[in-house]
Structure 1
Amino acid sequence: MTTVTTRTVAYPADGLTMSGHLALPGGTGPRPAVLIGPEGMGLSDVERRRAEALAELGYVALAFDLHGGRYLEDPEEMLARCLPLLADPGRMRGIGRAALDALRTEGRVDPGRIAAIGYGTGGAVALELGRDGVDLRAIGTVNALTTGRPGEAARIRCPVWAGVGSEDPIMASAQREAFVAEMRAADVDWRLVVYGGALHAFHHPPVDHSTPPGTGHHARHARRAWRDIVALLAECLPVTE
């Protein structure tokens, strides 16, 4: 197992000072890199641990921030910030591009080999980077079957993997169908995995504060979704010594 080092990275975005979590694998040479976007509540130890797990596999990983260093435990406060953000592709792209710029300043990053993954709002940001034509090797999202502006999915230049719970009331069947139609119309290399019996945010471990209705952890599917994301990266962004 490679030795992982971490540090906090501050950078401006969306009128805020963001505080991302950077994880670096051992060694000195350039490595492929992964952006990790958090759920709407914001950057937490869940995404920090995932960045570190990817660094153990040899990736430079940056778990990016959505709320200027804040974690929004109150569902109403979270929705008040995230719903306008999700309705504004330009803002999402700005947040994603700022995080991407912060990642690229790390000297260990191979700038031509970057992927973006994310959960909920952070996954929507990853998708908008693709729709904005950013050069990514892969996009992976969980609970983020958002659709974009008409025709802009044709700018996506990499495979897209998406996972969703079958019982997710936020990403329900109509949302899934719209996402699939958009990907098909744009001739994107896409995959959609529906995890039977899972709710929204099924990947996220239980938390000690209130959460929006329709959310719930599903341990077995959470493990499966993580394995699927790691497999996507291994296919599209292999680590080579």
Structure 2
Amino acid sequence: MVTRSVEYRQGETVLEGYLVYDDAVQGQRPGVLVAHEWTGLGPYVQGRVEALARLGFVAFGADLYGRGIRPATPEAAAAEAAKYKSDRQLLRARAAAGLAELRRQPAVDPARLAAIGYCFGGTAVLELARSGAELCGVVSFHGGLDTPQPADARNIRAKVLALHGAADPIAPASQVAAFQDELRQAGVDWQLVLYGGAVHSFTNPAAGNDPTKGAAYDARADRRSWLAMRQFFAELFAEEEGRSPTVAE
């Protein structure tokens, strides 16, 4: 595996992403952008980037905050994330800069690109899709599903998969319902999977094991959501290659 930090920019802001790919794989392959949770690009998301590379993708962990900005407390993370939640155009621009950097990688097939995101990163990749970015698909893992501009769903070119905790108090049922209406009215090709009993951050062991706090790890939902993503990608990229996927893929 090749792993390296990649410095790139969005406007005047210096960003530092995390690129991983298997150099034993020949030729171009699909690229997957990974958007981090509210604590910034750290070990958790880097682990997901590495897991995607082991599946044969070129994976790139985007830096949405800026080089060296890695909040160390929940309070600092909430404050940093709020800057982008209140400025969705900036959030879209940061995500788009990461996608552009991924597309520039020589091993990436630019016609086969997807983006996934966790929590805050789920919000980011959905906003990237709403901006009209050229993507085959996006996947939100326990992400915020709301947007101040639901009409922008008409710009979505990607297929959308939302993997969500059915008991998530941070993105509750009312937000889930509004999200479905948004995509339905825009004619988007979308899927939503709800995991019973799962709350926010269900893929992250660092979230602890007490769901009454609103965020907690759920091993079953983590496993099932990763498998759902893999099946989504098998269908997505098989279609781009002009062949039909099989269940075995």
**TM-score greater than 0.5 by the shorter chain:** yes
Q: How far apart, in 2, do the equivalents of 1:77 and 1:175 lie?
A: 25
Of residues 2, 8, 20, the one that matches 2:5 is 8
2:52 is the alignment partner of 1:22:
no
Amino acid corresponding to residue 191 of structure 2 in structure 1? R
Q: How far apart, in 1, do the equivalents of 2:5 and 2:135 lie?
A: 23
Which sections of structure 2, spanning at least 5 residues, go unmatched? Answer: 242-249
Structure 1 range deviating more: 230-239 or 113-122: 230-239
Q: How far apart, in 1, do the equivalents of 2:207 and 2:177 lie?
A: 30
Which consecutive aligned stretches of 4+ in structure 1 deviate over 4 angstroms post-superposition? none
After superposition, the Cα gap between the structure-2 partners of 1:126 and 1:89, relative to the gap in structure 1 and judged at 3 Å, is: same
2:234 is the alignment partner of 1:206:
no
| Alignment match, 1:85 | 84
DSSP 3-state at the match of 2:205:
coil
Q: How far apart, in 1, do the equivalents of 2:45 and 2:237 lie?
A: 19
After superposition, the Cα gap between the structure-2 partners of 1:35 and 1:205, relative to the gap in structure 1 and judged at 3 Å, is: same
Amino acid corresponding to residue 21 of structure 2 in structure 1? L
| Alignment match, 1:114 | 113
Task: Compute the RMSD of aligned alpha carbons.
Answer: 1.9
1:148 CA drift (Å): 4.7
1:50 CA drift (Å): 1.5
| Alignment match, 1:123 | 122
Q: How far apart, in 1, do the equivalents of 2:55 and 2:7 lie?
A: 24
DSSP 3-state at the match of 1:151:
helix
After superposition, the Cα gap between the structure-2 partners of 1:232 and 1:112, relative to the gap in structure 1 and judged at 3 Å, is: same
After superposition, the Cα gap between the structure-2 partners of 1:80 and 1:135, relative to the gap in structure 1 and judged at 3 Å, is: same
Check the 8 A contact 2:207/2:215 in 1, yes or no.
no
Of residues 49, 52, 56, the one that matches 2:50 is 52
After superposition, the Cα gap between the structure-2 partners of 1:166 and 1:207, relative to the gap in structure 1 and judged at 3 Å, is: closer
Amino acid corresponding to residue 65 of structure 1 in structure 2? D
1:197 CA drift (Å): 0.7
1:14 CA drift (Å): 6.8
DSSP 3-state at the match of 1:206:
helix
Which sections of structure 1, spanning at least 5 residues, go unmatched? Answer: none
| Alignment match, 2:173 | 173
Check the 8 A contact 2:140/2:161 in 1, yes or no.
yes
After superposition, the Cα gap between the structure-2 partners of 1:150 and 1:220, relative to the gap in structure 1 and judged at 3 Å, is: closer
- Return the structure number with greater relative CO, CA threshold 8 A, min gap 6: 1
- TM norm structure 1: 0.91
DSSP 3-state at the match of 1:43:
coil
1:15 CA drift (Å): 5.0
Q: How far apart, in 2, do the equivalents of 1:135 and 1:229 lie?
A: 19
Check the 8 A contact 1:195/1:221 in 2, yes or no.
yes
Amino acid corresponding to residue 205 of structure 1 in structure 2? P
Check the 8 A contact 2:201/2:207 in 1, yes or no.
no
Cα shift readout 1:71-123 (whole Å, capped 9, x = no counterpart): 22311111111123112221111101110111122111111110011011111
- TM norm structure 2: 0.88
Q: How far apart, in 2, do the equivalents of 1:87 and 1:191 lie?
A: 26
Cα shift readout 1:146-205 (whole Å, capped 9, x = no counterpart): 235142101111210001112211100111111111011101111111111111111111
Seq. identity, %: 39
Q: How far apart, in 2, do the equivalents of 1:173 and 1:207 lie?
A: 21
| Alignment match, 1:36 | 34
